[in-house]
Amino acid sequence: MSSDATPDPYADPLRFGQRVQILRERRGMTQAQLADLVGISPHTLRKIENGQQKAPDLDRVMRIAEALRVRDLAELTGHPDMHVDLFIGPGHPRLASVKAAVDSFTLGSGIEPPPVAHLEARLHAAWKARHEARNHREVVGRLLPDLIRDGQALVRHADASASRRAAQALLAEAYSLCQFFAAYQPDSSLLWRVAERGMTAAQESEDPHAIGVAAWLLAQAHRDSGPRHFDAADAVNREAIAFLAPLLPDASDNVRAIAGALEFELGYTAARRRETGTAWRHWDQASRMAKKLPRDYYHPITSFSRAIMGAHAVTVAVELHQGGESVRQAAKADKTVIKSKPRRARHRIEEARGYQLDGQPDVAIATLQKAHEAAPETIAYNGYARRIILEEIESKVAERRRRASDLAMKVGILAA
């Protein structure tokens, strides 16, 4: 390694400030950007990085970890006894079999493809099971290997252009389901393979809905990779919206819904940038699109609907760090019921973030308990939820500390 190479925070016992600087620069963030996300002045952050100010308290350390999307707290602190996974789970038991199915390519004709209608019905049942299951990764992980292999076989055996396009649409849908499983698993390369193959299959299918869903998921993969990839996320979203726009007057509800979901994603990314006006403008546009859908409609993959817009408003407010506004939006959103248990749990986590920002940690912990009741596997793999729980384990209020510790054991952060 050359002498001017970036030091590896795993290799050298660097002080906290140096680690912050290294990880910030790897994320492509300026001091001003990180300071804004953490809620301190650039001057204070500069002093922390230069070692002129001691490492901050746990709350501030966790906020820095959140902003830098640090996967393991030891990576930031340098303490080997602080190996706490933040934004990625320990790995689901079914991850190996799903990965094997994604990585396997049978070039021969040994696998007999199922009838198209049969695979369609199984995919429909898989999405339904995902939305209804509390442990949705277990349910989906059990189904995915066969769905992926059969989708690949269907594409290989297609003997006409129309049947091949139909097969590619089903394979794209299987990859979309797989991306939900792969998110927050300790294999980011798998997530990218799935996202890119899903987009390739969707484009080959020429199916507007498949293309919209693949774009929605690919944009999320870019955004979750950090601020340097926000522009790429926006580019994918905008191109997909432009592709769908001419089709919308005569489109199905599913196509109109995925267009609305893509519109909201632009607002979500803007909120991550702290662009308040832009974020709410895209939310407004997505809300208008949702109101054109039937009142009881839910998109089968994204859950986009009239009802979900309240939850989306909470997300925007939280990402903008508007604590009071996020609490107000949470009160409005709770008037509707989100049918999908994983999506309901995620909404509860976003609400908990809002309550934490608003200085209501007891309500935040209570809300995370509701998230755990709705879908334990959602909260177990969510870094924001884990950060709040870890903060409140250190609370000086005994009852709050006890409730946070109990939840931490349920989620798997602490050993029983």
State whether 384 and 410 are in the same domain.
Answer: yes
Query: Where is average pLDDT lowest: 49-53, 58-62, 354-358, 381-385?
Result: 58-62
* Reported confidence tier of residue 380, pLDDT bands at 50, 70, 90: confident
At 86 the pLDDT is 53
Q: Per the domain annotation, does 83 fall within a domain? A: no
Q: Residue 393 has which token pair?
A: 């384990």
User: What span, in angstroms and rounded, lies between the C-alpha atoms of 218 and 238?
Assistant: 12
Q: List Cβ neighbours of 120 (8 Å cut-off, separation of 6 or more).
A: 170
Q: One-letter amino acid identity for 298?
A: Y
State whether 198 and 118 are in the same domain.
Answer: yes
State whether 167 and 60 are in the same domain.
Answer: no
At 72 the pLDDT is 67
State whether 94 and 200 are in the same domain.
Answer: yes
Residue 283: C-alpha distances to residues 106, 173, 242, 267, 317 (Å): 44, 26, 17, 6, 11
Q: Per the domain annotation, does 300 fall within a domain? A: no
Share of the chain above pLDDT 90, in %: 60
Q: List Cβ neighbours of 115 (8 Å cut-off, separation of 6 or more).
A: none
At 298 the pLDDT is 94
The arithmetic mean of pLDDT across residues 17-46, rounded, is 85
Choose the final residue of a domain: 206, 224, 246. 206
Q: Per the domain annotation, does 53 fall within a domain? A: yes
Higher-confidence residue of 1 and 213: namely 213
* Reported confidence tier of residue 383, pLDDT bands at 50, 70, 90: confident
The answer to whether 327 and 355 have CB atoms below 8 angstroms apart is: yes
Q: Per the domain annotation, does 404 fall within a domain? A: yes
The answer to whether 395 and 401 have CB atoms below 8 angstroms apart is: yes
Instruction: Inform me whether the pLDDT recorded for 351 exceeds 80.
Output: yes
At 14 the pLDDT is 52
Choose the final residue of a domain: 77, 103, 130. 77
Give per-residue pLDDT as tens, 242-275. 999 999 999 999 999 999 999 999 999 999 999 9
The answer to whether 120 and 208 have CB atoms below 8 angstroms apart is: no
User: What span, in angstroms and rounded, lies between the C-alpha atoms of 277 and 290?
Assistant: 20
At 386 the pLDDT is 85
Q: List Cβ neighbours of 130 (8 Å cut-off, separation of 6 or more).
A: 136, 139, 140, 177, 180, 340, 342
**Quick one: which H or E segment has residue 227?**
none
The answer to whether 87 and 57 have CB atoms below 8 angstroms apart is: no
Over the chain, what is the mean pLDDT?
88
Higher-confidence residue of 119 and 380: namely 119
Q: 6-15, 65-74, 276-285, 390-399: which has the highest mean pLDDT? A: 276-285
DSSP state of 394: T
The answer to whether 127 and 176 have CB atoms below 8 angstroms apart is: no
User: What span, in angstroms and rounded, lies between the C-alpha atoms of 208 and 129?
Assistant: 24
State whether 100 and 177 are in the same domain.
Answer: yes
Residue 10: C-alpha distances to residues 4, 15, 78, 322, 408 (Å): 17, 12, 8, 35, 26
Domain total for the chain? 3
State whether 67 and 98 are in the same domain.
Answer: no
Instruction: Inform me whether the pLDDT recorded for 1 exceeds 90.
Output: no
Give per-residue pLDDT as tens, 279-329. 999 999 999 999 999 999 999 999 999 999 999 999 999 999 888 898 888
At 4 the pLDDT is 42
Q: Per the domain annotation, does 276 fall within a domain? A: no
Q: Specify burial of residue 53 (Cβ count, 10 A radius: 0-12, 13-18, 19+).
A: middle
Angle between helices 341-357 and 323-333 (to 10 degrees): 150
State whether 56 and 121 are in the same domain.
Answer: no
The arithmetic mean of pLDDT across residues 194-213, rounded, is 97
Q: Residue 162 has which token pair?
A: 């129309």
Residue 85: strand pairing partners: 72
**Quick one: which H or E segment has residue 129?**
helix 116-132
Provide the whole-model pTM. Answer: 0.81
Taking the alpha carbons at both ends of the chain, their separation in whole angstroms is: 43
Q: List Cβ neighbours of 260 (8 Å cut-off, separation of 6 or more).
A: 286, 289, 290, 293, 304
State whether 73 and 108 are in the same domain.
Answer: no
State whether 33 and 109 are in the same domain.
Answer: no
Q: List Cβ neighbours of 391 (8 Å cut-off, separation of 6 or more).
A: 58, 59, 62, 356, 361, 404
**Quick one: which H or E segment has residue 258?**
helix 253-272
Share of the chain above pLDDT 70, in %: 90
At 167 the pLDDT is 96
Higher-confidence residue of 155 and 70: namely 155
Instruction: Inform me whether the pLDDT recorded for 6 exceeds 50.
Output: no
Burial 157-187 (b: 16+ CB within 10 A, else e): ebeeeeebbbbbbbbbbbbbbbbbbbbbbeb
Domain extent, residue 391, equals 340-416
At 235 the pLDDT is 98
User: What span, in angstroms and rounded, lies between the C-alpha atoms of 400 and 393?
Assistant: 8
The arithmetic mean of pLDDT across residues 155-179, rounded, is 94
* Reported confidence tier of residue 9, pLDDT bands at 50, 70, 90: very low
At 414 the pLDDT is 62
**Quick one: which H or E segment has residue 98?**
helix 95-103
State whether 160 and 130 are in the same domain.
Answer: yes
State whether 196 and 125 are in the same domain.
Answer: yes
Among candidate residues 314, 323, 328, the one with its CA nearest the CA of residue 371: 314
The answer to whether 81 and 414 have CB atoms below 8 angstroms apart is: no
Q: Residue 31 has which token pair?
A: 């001091």
Among candidate residues 286, 297, 296, the one with its CA nearest the CA of residue 261: 286
**What CATH code is carried by the domain that includes residue 48?**
1.10.260.40
* Reported confidence tier of residue 7, pLDDT bands at 50, 70, 90: very low
Instruction: Inform me whether the pLDDT recorded for 83 exceeds 60.
Output: no
State whether 43 and 98 are in the same domain.
Answer: no
